[in-house]
Structure 1
């Protein structure tokens, strides 16, 4: 019996327990890939690297890699990984909406979302290896957008499997509690051979949103967070067939 793989690999990802991939499984997967369309995955057309903070504990900050599918001009969906390595862990999902869509949401729903203006203006949100001039128009739109990010696998605390309920994540903000730790930014700058400060200076002309809805970034206004818990409830059974 093969030994279970444990520990970390690459840029901080966790290896789940389990047997190594067999040659037979590799061949099977390659054959399936050739025969199937995998259409939803092929719609991912951007890689965004940024940072996120746990809503219930903002001392926990992580680098995130979003693989973005643009459904339309007002709605995007992102598969979120903990690195851009081939063996990265899928740690969650983020939905991104335009300000127009966000304003149509109920206030209770808006509390679960965060604004992106600071992420964009501060240079924290980047498209690795893509020139700024290529993504400038997109960045202008993203600066007015809002996101809802659920983390389902907390690899930053060493979890080898996605255990427990999902955690709501927040966007960095220009206030002390919500600012990203400098060492995290420097680590990313070194890896991609870039300067977040220099990127920030190139974005001075990107307009600030005229208004950021205060229901977003709820913790800034109220010092409160949202934490998910699992509880037993009565099951809704299927009604008897006539």
Structure 2
């Protein structure tokens, strides 16, 4: 089930000033128990996450709604990454080779990453560009599949409704990220998107045809 052009019903608890998730504060006894379990459990899937990236995403059924996302990835192998995208989202990233092996219908659900890397919309906080560049070159040729289960940008205090398919920023009208979102991200992380752009020169993705296909997917996903 994919997202549609119908806006989901907003959570009644969203009304008002409170933006915190619904529920009672964590009890002291529960916090102590959870702290103790971290010394006894391996937490292997979490510890395998090796890279933090910050970028932006658009809702496929309403590209004008854009959010900042924080991506923590675990490389399963050279062609496949599994990522946690906080809050409450999951993205899968595949190489160009694996993407080309997918059916045309399946490809509609994936988005390319080259534009947001070339335009420094995807950054690696606290990691020098020189260190991050080899991985950025790999990611520029990759494609992602990304579902949002909690629409926090509209104030929901619980994950409501069906998951929404997300798409990556693109150099088309609906896909361009609002400057105020970029400014807010830059101020929070002490970076300059404009200053990073020259360092991304020479990084290229799978080609112009994929960018055009991304634009067409933004439109056609309304009908999936």
Show the counterpart of 1:196: 193
Equivalent position to 1:18, from 23, 39, 43: 23
Does 2:103 correspond to 1:143?
no
SS in 2 for 1:112: coil
8 Å CA contact retained: 1:152, 1:165: yes
8 Å CA contact retained: 1:62, 1:156: yes
The CA deviation at 1:21 is 1.1
The CA deviation at 1:121 is 0.3
Equivalent position to 1:73, from 56, 74, 78: 78
Q: How many residues are paired up?
A: 209
TM-score, length basis structure 2 = 0.87
Quick one: structure 1 residues 227 and 40, their matched pair in 2 at CA, closer, same or farther if it must change by over 3 Å?
Answer: farther
The CA deviation at 1:205 is 2.1
Quick one: structure 1 residues 222 and 190, their matched pair in 2 at CA, closer, same or farther if it must change by over 3 Å?
Answer: closer
8 Å CA contact retained: 1:167, 1:227: no
Question: What is the distance in 2 between the residues matched to 1:208 and 1:119?
Answer: 10
Show the counterpart of 1:182: 179
8 Å CA contact retained: 2:118, 2:197: yes
1:102-113 matches, cutoff 5 A: 102-113=99-110
Equivalent position to 2:59, from 54, 69, 77: 54
Show the counterpart of 2:36: 31
> What are the Cα deviations for residues 197-223 of structure 1, in whole angstroms up to 9, with x where unaligned?
111111112234346547952x43672
Question: What is the distance in 1 between the residues matched to 2:213 and 2:107?
Answer: 6
8 Å CA contact retained: 1:91, 1:155: no
Gaps of 5+ in 2: 1-15
The CA deviation at 1:33 is 1.0
Question: What is the distance in 2 between the residues matched to 1:21 and 1:208?
Answer: 45
SS in 1 for 2:65: strand
Does 2:112 correspond to 1:115?
yes
> What root-mean-square deviation, in Å, do the aligned CA atoms of Structure 1 and Structure 2 show?
2.0
Q: Which has the larger radius of gyration?
A: 1
Quick one: structure 1 residues 36 and 216, their matched pair in 2 at CA, closer, same or farther if it must change by over 3 Å?
Answer: farther
Question: What is the distance in 2 between the residues matched to 1:222 and 1:79?
Answer: 23
Q: Which has the higher contact order (CA 8 A, sep 6+)?
A: 2
Question: What is the distance in 1 between the residues matched to 2:44 and 2:219?
Answer: 42
Question: What is the distance in 2 between the residues matched to 1:71 and 1:146?
Answer: 15
> What are the Cα deviations for residues 144-172 of structure 1, in whole angstroms up to 9, with x where unaligned?
00000000000000000001000000000
Whichever structure has more helix as a proportion of its residues is 2
Question: What is the distance in 2 between the residues matched to 1:178 and 1:79?
Answer: 22
